[in-house]
Amino acid sequence: MPTPTIPGIHHITAIAGDPQRNLDFYSTILGLRLVKLTVNFDDPGTYHFYFGNEEGTPGSILTFFPWPHAPRGVVGSRQVTATTFAVPVGSGPYWRSRLSAHGVTVNDAGERFGEAILALHDPDGLPLELVATRHANPALASRDTAVDSEHAIGGFHSATLSEEGYEQTARLLTDTMGFSLVGNEGNRFRYQTAGGGAGAIVDLLCTPDGRFGRLGTGTVHHIAWRTPDDAQQLQWRSELARLGYNVTPVVDRDYFRSIYYREPGGVLFEIATDPPGFTVDEPKERLGERLMLPHRYESQRSTLERILPRVTLPVRRSKAAR
């Protein structure tokens, strides 16, 4: 049996407040495609939005549970404290101008490992970054949006995990999950998967005196790592259980299958399969256009459609022009 691999980030899931505001920000301002409109499989009275590239390729997917009445969270240790997108080299001025025109405060955060960083927050306070990098992948960019294609977001660059102490998490990444330490700047330690590419980087930020994070709007719920198939996922589950992690059974999320466990610093990790993908129940050209429900909730469709907040879905430019 081949050694299981983790090519990088599969998706990142965060908590939002107002669902319409969340839809508008990520689709209209950042230019990501809404690739799936569904519900939280564990709380079907709540939406689950998936944003990504044209077909929701792993490495491009940012998802949200929008809970309109949830309290504001606290960003801090034991959390993913920055979700970082890759944009093409030279795109910084475009994004500063675009974000400012939409009333979004954007800060020049200097360089990190030789790459220029723009820092911003979404409407719920979730920390986001745009990194101008040669690793921005045009294949992971969403098309048919108001964002100029030459500057479009090309998948994830990385994620930052803030930890009280990073050593045990680092051992999990390197000794078990196949990451390598590729550099450090001060209290930031950078790890990368063997293959490189979109979402292949994770930074551990050692913040022993930092405040503890608290789950709520504007915070990341979990980060999911890719695995190519079901067989490798089962290998990961077996190995993590052998090492003493409380790893869940495989959970079917319709668009991928998942296992969950907490890394030593407290961040919730998921390992998700690449297949079957988001076109399993909708054609690529119609992704995100209607509410898709897990089979077990289909009989409750009329009830759920009544209780879920009404939202206006983003309109693709090609459709608007018809």
Tokens in use for 234? 């089962």
DSSP string, 194-231: TT-STT-EEEEEE-TTSPBPB-SBTSEEEEEEEESSHH
137 SS3 class: coil
User: What are 250-271's pLDDT values in tens digits?
Assistant: 999 999 999 999 999 999 999 9
pLDDT at 316: 76
CATH of range 9-320; options 1.10.150.120, 3.30.70.100, 3.40.190.10, 3.10.180.10: 3.10.180.10
Helix then strand count (H, E) for the chain reads 6, 16
Domain ranges of the chain: 9-320
pLDDT at 139: 87
Could you give the strand order of the β-sheet that contains 268-273, starting from the edge strand earlier in sequence?
33-40, 43-52, 61-66, 9-16, 220-227, 268-273, 257-262, 251-252
DSSP 69: T
What gap in Å lies between CA 293 and CA 272, rounded to an integer? 19
Angle at 284 between CA 227 and CA 257, to 5 degrees: 25
Positions of the chain with pLDDT under 70: 1, 317-322
pLDDT at 319: 55
Average pLDDT, the chain: 95
User: What are 196-237's pLDDT values in tens digits?
Assistant: 777 999 999 999 998 999 999 999 999 999 999 999 999 999
pLDDT at 196: 79
What gap in Å lies between CA 131 and CA 137, rounded to an integer? 12
Tokens in use for 75? 């960003």
pLDDT at 135: 82
pLDDT at 321: 43
Tokens in use for 209? 């005196």
Q: How many beta carbons lie within 10 A of that of residue 305, not counting itself?
A: 11
299 SS3 class: helix
